[in-house]
Chains A and B, each alone.
Chain A
Amino acid sequence: MKTIFRTIRETIVTPWGVWLALLGMILLSALLGGILVFWKGLVITNLTDLVPWGLWITIDLSAIALSAGAFSMCAAVYLFGLKRYEPIARTATFIGFTGYSMAMMALLLDIGRPDRFWKSFVFWNTHSLLWEVTMCVGLYFTVLLLEVMPILASFEWLRKKFPRLAGKMEHLHHYAPVLAIFGLALSSLHQSSLGAVYGVIKARPIWYRPEMSVLFMFTAILGGIALTLLASMLAARLTSKAKVNDVLIERVAQFLGYLMIAYLYWRFWDWLSQTYTYEPGRTEGFELLTKGTLSFNFWAGEMLVGALLPTILLLYRPARQSPLWRMLAFAMIVGGVVAFRFDTNIVGFLAVIPYTPGEMIVNYTTYTPALVEWVTGIGIIAFGLLAFSVGVKYLRIVDHRITREEHGVVTVQAGEVVRNT
């Protein structure tokens, strides 16, 4: 009896076991929540005719944005020849694949007829930006699937049991540059058109502006790379299965800092242009962001902590060189991107623009996600964490020592230190 308890304690009550148990419990309750949604319908959410898109859409938009590290890093490595960042591209690809799976889960919950999801691939309205997004996401998910194959091939069990299959999967890596071209094209198309989904809606003036697509693209690249680096560094701190090259990460971090400057520049002019003249709906929406219910999200989440602070941290060398501050900066960028997506979606709905003639009285509505939206939403995030954890443990997705002969070796310049090797 004693030995059984000891075995249990030693095999299950490990940090890994506790982590899995925690994620498992969250996933289980999310599964129950999901079943409830499919059974009872969307009436159990807090979505209304006035706010038809809420928390799930935010998770969908954020998951897609934070997956953008995949195409950015793959393009950098396989198209722009920055070969030494290949190990980061490997991590980013896996995160991208996970993120798109998460986005699809959120969508499946959110659409009124999940049983008809396949119709979005069969019936085409080529004029719709959502059609374009659907097509690009579908195709890009296929690209990610092919890109992730060589990573899945590094699963020990698969290598031993099915060496030929693993070899075939591994071989797909030869097509990495071609896949990167497709990935870049499809991603940049739908990342920006996801912004345009909002940007073309004339009925809601706070959305109706051409910057939307550019801002969505910007935030996707920023958030995607930041999440990839944050996850890599965090994994390397928590487990010996993950090995990072700190110098490599710091280089990308600096690039990210410059990119943040460009982002802030865009946001500034975008912000300023919206403060001029009264436009029903837009002005009220903008006031919700700057003074109203969304002001904390906007000023703290999007601007101060989400953009300004990480920019300073990433461009100020001592802060950037400190792994802790650097990780914090990445986390802030990720949070800022999520806040941006949440605010952008919700602000267009909260200020209700009247269609009645005469007085222009803008009404306000509210939206607080229902418990079932939270439980399932957090479950989707838990799925992402689980996939990443398993990837780190069994697929070496964070291992900056991995080099591939056919693509040359990681060149380490004089003075660079490869950590943890």
Chain B
Amino acid sequence: MHRSCGQCNLICHANNDINPDLDWNKVLEVGEVDGKMVYLPRPCMQCEHAPCVEVCPVGASYYRDDGIVMMDYEKCIGRRYCMAACPYDARAFNWEAFTGGNPAVPEWGDPDVERRPRGVPEKCSFCYQRIDRGMSLGLKPGVDAAATPACVVGRPTGARIFGDLNDPNSNVSQVLKKHPSYRLRENLGTNPRVYYLPVTENRVVEG
């Protein structure tokens, strides 16, 4: 858990061209420790057994080979069963078209991905476009900033760690080996790939 400056959410909106009314990466206030507010960022958990993938009638939600839960915005018919099924409220629906400029996008940059149309739900994709482009350039996600999700790179406080959980030597695997961690609604058996370090650790691990 980290102290919120909202930077990760802002950079998420800029990179993924998200409507200011929607969030892929909500930062919640979850309580106070020693008089300081504690925040919990909630990206998509990229579950191993993702309810959204299981329930989508047309298969618009699917797993990538690396485990990222993806949305095929072209296939989606907007039935919203995934939204009813997601235990983490991680999906935001485009109730109306998002037109015009995006206040989160700075003048000197362009978003990485196409804006989603009206009538489909959208969600965090672990910035797959950054991972793919970075890896094609021979970079390592979690090590090289250009191959790592925007929210992890953009954090000024170092609250997020990203990497390959299948690689025992990656920084995420190492951190999780050394520190106790927890995940959200673990009892549901979804096996989320987002781990939280207890409040004293002040960090989130994504892998």
A-B contact pairs, 28 of them (CB 8 A): A41-B97, A42-B119, A49-B92, A52-B80, A52-B84, A111-B77, A112-B77, A112-B94, A113-B120, A117-B77, A119-B75, A120-B57, A124-B59, A125-B59, A127-B54, A128-B54, A128-B55, A130-B55, A200-B55, A202-B87, A203-B86, A348-B84, A355-B87, A355-B88, A356-B28, A357-B30, A357-B182, A358-B31
A341–B55 Cα gap in the complex (Å)? 20
- Contact code string B23-44 (vs A, CB < 8 Å = 1, else 0): 0000010110000000010100
Q: What are the residues of chain B within 8 A of A146 when measuring CB–CB? A: none
Residue of B nearest to A198 (CB): B84
Measured between C-beta atoms, what is the minimum distance from A344 to chain B in Å?
A: 12
The residue that A355 contacts in the complex, of B42, B56, B75, with Cβ under 8 A, is B42
Give the residues from 96 to 120 in chain A that come closer than 8 angstroms, CB to CB, to chain B.
110-113, 116-117, 119-120
Q: Closest CB-CB distance, B192 to chain A, in whole Å? A: 10
Known: A112-B118, A131-B57. A356 touches B83 (CB 8 A): no
Name A132-157 residues within 8 Å CB distance of B. Answer: 133-134
Top 10 A-B residue pairs of the complex, sorted by shortest distance between their CB atoms: A112-B78, A112-B119, A203-B87, A43-B96, A125-B59, A130-B57, A123-B58, A52-B80, A43-B95, A131-B57
By beta carbon, the residue of chain A nearest B58 is: A123
Contacts of A352 in B (CB 8 A): 89
Q: How far is the CA of A49 from the CA of B75 in the complex (A)?
A: 20
Q: Which secondary structure dominates where chain B touches chain A?
A: loop
Size category of the B interface is 35 or more
Q: Chain A: which residue is nearest B75 at the CB level?
A: A123
Residue of A47, A52, A123, A356 near B59 (CB, 8 A) is A123
With A and B bound together, what is the CA distance between A130 and B83 in angstroms?
13
Q: Are A349 and B84 in contact, with the CB atoms below 8 A?
A: yes
Point out the residues of chain A lying under 8 angstroms from B51, CB to CB. Answer: 201-203
Within 8 Å CB of B76, what residues of A? 112-113, 116
CB distance from A162 to the nearest CB of B (A): 38
